[in-house]
């Protein structure tokens, strides 16, 4: 591209969708760019955003004259928004170059749709790897992205200027950029994000299927954390499930294979085989997220295995 | 029973096993009873405990002359300890009435073994519903039990005095007592505790089976929390899996049924059916553990469903 590089501080930004992601982005970027407007159809969302000094409007029209359009709605709404950007009214009224980035949770269908946008758009895909089990502007936090991975999926048509601006945006959020092909993102996200949601939801469903209210008195921090993602926003999750189907079904199949294997191991009742099967997952999880409270202390089976039984410890 | 009721402040307590549970109990009770000793075969554990003013010994013999014996090792070691309490040497040397409570994660086999203890023992089962994915005295915390459920499983032979003392103990920890039959505990715990462990472990295994290190850059708080229990202490978990097999296999089967149903729903790709299937789990999880950050904000599909597509919003 021939134009001089855009920098964030000279960029007029419009964020479409002021939920948890879009709202957090608005709070993080407001005052750090030339102008920022938010668009959200929900009255109470706009009231909350205005109270945090975000200029906002109910309709997309207000966001048309901008340098960078950030699409921060659920995936299928992003697909609808991309379709309206190709609408002839829009093309006629706004032929100025506009960068487009989205924050959608799946990237394949979105980047395909971006590829067919009119030529004055300069799009790429994005996905910040962070979230909460709660949604909406009420939970927005300008620090949400700090130290998190922010995936960028450039298209064949993405200009170096667009990628540079996106990298500047990621840096401004305190996030770590990770460049991936859209298909690669979707395959990895199926296992890192979408499968945990399904695992958590099936856990809640299995617990509910017991129909015993005493169960809820028995749920401790383990159940709480393992089931947390089941509380995720349904619209967001349904859009994910419908737009990343093959990769999600593939990762569910791999998950069921592991559960089947655990089932057989428990049935066979051999402690050594069980330990050998469980240990790699235990070691990897402990290494991946070290405890904040100090070193992990593993008590070996041998330590306790010899206690009692023959009564010899009473003679020591 | 004819004896006057014991109260905690007049009770000499021995805690066998100074891991996370036994260590936390020792820290919570030390100074609130007539005497307290801990028993642990591990030198470094005893050094840590002594540094927190817990008197301790390496061998069970040191704990024999006591009023209340608390067994706080993994389940299969508790079974060994109960076997040694029936040992003739022990019976001959200690015919004085001794309350026995355990903190084991499964209750069926333990309470069966308790039922056959010599008559001067006055046993009941216990299980505090709390934990961490880390183990060992290094992570012990006298507040671990506060506001948590503490299950008690009295036996036919348990005296009112033993139950009263156990309830006083639970109250001293700031926990909530829940009286259950051992089989009822094991069935509920299979779903509330043991199934979440298996779900987390299978998630780690499915992720590892991808053999792609980029995946770990993509794991955010959702994966972190859903996989947390996979880091649990292996000796503790193997003992649980081996001593609550039928209930765990039953709960795994119910879990796989839910996953199969989710698989079919995703395959069928109908948003309304998906939403209807996911909503009850979402509602229950949100009600069970309300967000600490404020009310849950659910964005309805309808809010975003009409955006774009026909371009009509551009004319508003």
Kindly state whether residues A26 and A155 are assigned to the same domain.
Answer: yes
Kindly state whether residues A124 and A224 are assigned to the same domain.
Answer: no
CA distance B100 to chain A (A): 16
Residue A192 lies in a domain: yes
Residue B313 lies in a domain: no
* Closest in B218, B222, B271 to A149, CB measured: B218
In this complex, do B221 and A132 lie within 8 Å of one another by their Cβ atoms? yes
A44-59 mean pLDDT: 96
Closest residue in A to B241 (Cα–Cα): A266
Residue A304 lies in a domain: no
Residue A62: per-residue pLDDT: 77
Given a cut of 50, whether residue A263 has pLDDT beyond it is yes
Residue A226 lies in a domain: yes
User: Which neighbouring-strand residues pair with B128?
Assistant: B150
Give residue B88's pLDDT band: very low, low, confident or very high (50, 70, 90).
low
Give residue A3's pLDDT band: very low, low, confident or very high (50, 70, 90).
low
Q: What is d(CA B289, CA A307) in angstroms, rounded to the nearest whole number?
A: 40
Chain B positions touching A151 (Cβ under 8 A) are: 218
Average pLDDT in chain B = 88
Give residue A241's pLDDT band: very low, low, confident or very high (50, 70, 90).
very high
* Closest in B230, B289, B298 to A281, CB measured: B230
Sign of torsion, CA A247 B202 A130 A132? Answer: positive
In this complex, do A298 and B234 lie within 8 Å of one another by their Cβ atoms? yes
Which residue among B148, B180, B212 closes a domain? B180
What is the span of the domain harbouring residue A98?
8-180
Q: How would DSSP label each residue in B109-168? A: HHHHHHHTS-TTEEEEEEEES---SS-SGGG--TTTTTTSEEEEEE-TT--HHHHHHHHH
Give residue A308's pLDDT band: very low, low, confident or very high (50, 70, 90).
very low
Kindly state whether residues A173 and A192 are assigned to the same domain.
Answer: no
Kindly state whether residues A222 and A270 are assigned to the same domain.
Answer: yes
Given a cut of 90, whether residue B139 has pLDDT beyond it is yes
Instruction: Read off the CATH number of the domain in which A209 is found.
Output: 1.10.3660.10
Residue A301 lies in a domain: no
Which residue among A161, A180, A199 closes a domain? A180
A121-128 and A149-154: which strand pairing? antiparallel
Residue B84 lies in a domain: yes
Kindly state whether residues A101 and A212 are assigned to the same domain.
Answer: no
Kindly state whether residues A244 and A264 are assigned to the same domain.
Answer: yes
Q: Where are the alpha helices (DSSP H) in chain A?
A: 20-29, 43-51, 75-85, 88-93, 108-115, 160-172, 182-189, 195-208, 214-218, 221-227, 234-243, 245-268, 271-288, 301-305
Kindly state whether residues A133 and A20 are assigned to the same domain.
Answer: yes
Which residue among B180, B201, B235 closes a domain? B180
Residue A309 lies in a domain: no
Kindly state whether residues A202 and A172 are assigned to the same domain.
Answer: no
Instruction: Read off the CATH number of the domain in which A102 is found.
Output: 3.40.50.720
In this complex, do B241 and A266 lie within 8 Å of one another by their Cβ atoms? yes
Do the beta carbons of residue A166 and residue A152 sit within 8 Å? yes
Kindly state whether residues A169 and A219 are assigned to the same domain.
Answer: no
Chain B positions touching A238 (Cβ under 8 A) are: 271, 274-275, 278, 301
Domain count, chain B: 2
Given a cut of 90, whether residue B316 has pLDDT beyond it is no
Given a cut of 90, whether residue A114 has pLDDT beyond it is yes
Residue B292 lies in a domain: no
pLDDT, tens only, B218-260: 998 999 999 999 999 999 999 999 999 999 999 999 999 999 9
Kindly state whether residues A20 and A137 are assigned to the same domain.
Answer: yes
Kindly state whether residues A233 and A166 are assigned to the same domain.
Answer: no
Q: How would DSSP label each residue in B208-261? A: HHT--THHHHH--HHHHHHHGGGGS-HHHHHHHHHHSHHHHHHHHHHHHHHHHH
Total-model pTM: 0.87
Kindly state whether residues B209 and B85 are assigned to the same domain.
Answer: no
């Amino acid at each position: 591209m021939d134009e001089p590089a855009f920098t964030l501080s000279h960029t007029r930004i419009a964020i479409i969708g002021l939920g948890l992601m879009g709202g957090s982005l608005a709070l993080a970027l407001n005052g750090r760019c030339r102008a920022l407007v938010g668009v959200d159809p929900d009255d109470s969302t706009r009231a909350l955003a205005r109270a945090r000094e975000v200029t906002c409007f109910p309709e997309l029209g207000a966001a048309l004259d901008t340098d960078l359009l950030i699409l921060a709605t659920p995936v299928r709404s992003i697909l609808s928004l991309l379709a309206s950007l190709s609408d002839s009214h829009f093309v006629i009224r706004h032929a100025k170059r506009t960068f487009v980035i989205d924050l959608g949770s799946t990237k394949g269908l979105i980047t395909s749709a971006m590829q067919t946008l009119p030529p004055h758009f300069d799009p790429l895909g994005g996905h910040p790897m962070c979230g909460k089990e709660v949604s909406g502007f009420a939970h927005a936090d300008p620090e949400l992205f700090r130290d998190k991975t922010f995936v960028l999926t450039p298209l064949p048509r993405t200009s170096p200027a667009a990628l540079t601006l996106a990298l500047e945006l990621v840096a401004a959020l305190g996030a770590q950029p990770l460049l991936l092909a859209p298909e690669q993102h979707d395959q990895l996200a199926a296992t890192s994000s979408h499968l945990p949601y399904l695992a958590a939801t099936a856990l809640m469903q299995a617990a509910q299927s017991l129909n015993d209210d005493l169960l809820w008195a028995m749920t401790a921090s383990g159940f709480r954390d393992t089931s947390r993602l089941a509380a995720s926003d349904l619209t967001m999750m349904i859009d994910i499930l419908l737009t990343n189907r093959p990769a999600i079904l593939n990762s569910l199949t791999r998950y069921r294979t592991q559960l089947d294997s655990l089932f057989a191991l428990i049935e066979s009742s051999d402690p050594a085989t069980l330990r050998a099967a469980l240990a790699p997952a235990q070691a990897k999880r402990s290494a991946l997220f070290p405890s904040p409270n100090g070193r992990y202390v593993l008590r070996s089976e041998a330590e306790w295995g010899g206690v009692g039984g023959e009564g010899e410890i009473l003679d020591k």
